[in-house]
Amino acid sequence: MRPLLLVVAVIFLPGCGIDMAPAGPPQHDTKTVPRDKAEMVKVELHMGAGEMRLQGGAKELLEADFEYNVASWKPEVRYSNTGVRGYLTVEQPNGSKMANSNRYIWNMKLNDETPMDVKVKFGAGEADLNLGSLLLRSVDVEMGVGQIKLDLRGDPKRDYDVHVRGGVGEATIYVPREVGVYADASGGIGGIDARGLRQEGHHYINDAYEKAKVKIHLDVRGGVGAIHLIGD
């Protein structure tokens, strides 16, 4: 299954080639980006194919551990600060060659106290995004092929919007019960499964929505695959 996902990922990543040479031994690379005085940070994560694991709990802005067995796939981490807004980017290098046998895993933690806009562009594989503890301003996820779990359960202090665009695969989104949730969702062949939310017309809401002071608005569009919305 994984070699097939890698081939399909090429479609979503123009400029990537296919390298059939044997992969090397696993390598580890750790990266820490110190937290500074930025009032908000825009986080962009771009992965072609592999496993992405993201959660809160970092003391610094970013604490990451990368594992890969193709040397040219070493992730590029960049950070800049304009004085008010910070820009953090983690991405697979441009022009990376797809290997026939690969191991590519990103384990990342973000700081819970810095307001963030989080954008994830994911080509193929599996993504586990546990973002409920973060101080979110917005979330934007674009998936090509594979599975994604987006966990937003937490205690948000402000409203924020979530946009999810799925390609071929399955998306499971967990939402908190204590805040208002409004979801515009449309799926492809796999359809939509909502648990703990009720459907009203073309959208879904939870029981807390009418009176909640904090609300999450989701805009979810699926391609070929299933969308699961879980609010219990």
Q: Is 112 left (phi over 0), alpha (psi -120 to 50) or beta?
A: alpha
What is d(CA 207, CA 197) in angstroms, rounded to the nearest whole number?
7
pLDDT, averaged across the chain: 87
Beta bridge mates, 45? 90, 120
pLDDT attached to residue 222: 81
Q: Which residue has the higher pLDDT, 95 or 126?
A: 126
| pLDDT beyond 50 at 118 | yes
What are the contacts of 70-75 at 24+ separation with CB within 8 A? 70/19, 70/23, 70/24, 70/96, 70/97, 70/99, 70/102, 70/104, 71/24, 71/27, 72/96, 72/97, 73/102, 73/104, 74/27, 74/29, 75/29, 75/31, 75/106
pLDDT attached to residue 18: 41
Close Cβ partners of 58 (under 8 Å, ≥ 6 residues apart): 109, 110, 111, 112
pLDDT attached to residue 22: 55
| pLDDT beyond 90 at 112 | yes
